[in-house]
Structure 1
Amino acid sequence: MPQTQHVSSPVSGPAPSPASPTQADLLDFVRRTAADPALIASLPLDPEGRTWVRLDGPGGSEAWLIGWPPGTGTGWHDHAESLGAFATARGTLRENSLAVRLPASGWKTLELADGVDRDRELPAGRSRSFGRHHVHEVLNESRTEHAVSVHAYHPPLPLIRRFSRAGAMLRLEQVERPEDWQ
């Protein structure tokens, strides 16, 4: 089994089943939910660590309201076979992502091709959706302000793969299952 693979193909995946929420459905949900000031204000905020509350998402999706203290982030990760969307309700988040589709298994280290990095700033009121196997990190780079966001995934997250990144090298570090974060 090779330890290093080169990855440069664009992200793509199978279409969701007609009964499942689409990326557009998830995006609509996170936008509407992030615009609910009473819900956003109800999230307890911790000055040192992220806080979260589970929400009822559309069509059986998994949804979360998340508080981000200044200087916090997720680290590089993906959401396996789930589609996703998130909206910033307060503050500003930065998303760094990779425009590649990673192999589902059989690798520990990948060398990424040039030009696969993407980044975007999502101030309050901005949102985005993404497809299966989307690799990203989300950060609150503010030194003073909490950020709050709403996230939705379908199907509910079967696992999250966590990665470390050093230049063009992406390394699989950990696989988390739902019981690890419930």
Structure 2
Amino acid sequence: MQGRHFAALLAAALLSPIADTSAASVFRCVSADGHVTFTRHGCASDQDVHLQDARNPTPSSGETIPLADPARRAMTAPANTGELVIVGQQDDGCGNLLNASERRQAIIRKEVRRGMSRADVENSLGKPDRVTASNGQQRYHYREQRKGGNSRQVSFDEAGCVKK
């Protein structure tokens, strides 16, 4: 008898309306340096706290969801200060004379071009047969494997970049 009551209770619990589990309150924590963190457990005392409503209603539930307010997102263009700022440019140490595509093409074609590094030359031509140095400048010497083959020298400046 007790087993039947337990089964009936379990069935009633499973079939009862379940609370909307897709709704939750999320804290948006902003630190003094501007780092934003979203958490359900609250923010540290030194952070600005904003309560976010994170509801995700099921499709065709009849609830309308307001879209972003375009007036709120409108930003004014900053005044032109005349200063040019380049963000994210990588310095290859050789004056950025070659872009990535030119460097890749030169390596594939086994060419040596001004602005390539020692590593680029080794990727293009392989390890040198001989290395010499004088006055802080290095030279890579390559010779062809055939008899009477040509030899080739690549000179590097103090920074390790090909000079021509």
Q: If the length of structure 2 is used for normalisation, what is the TM-score? A: 0.20
Q: If the length of structure 1 is used for normalisation, what is the TM-score? A: 0.19
**Higher-helix-fraction structure:** 2
**Higher-strand-fraction structure:** 1
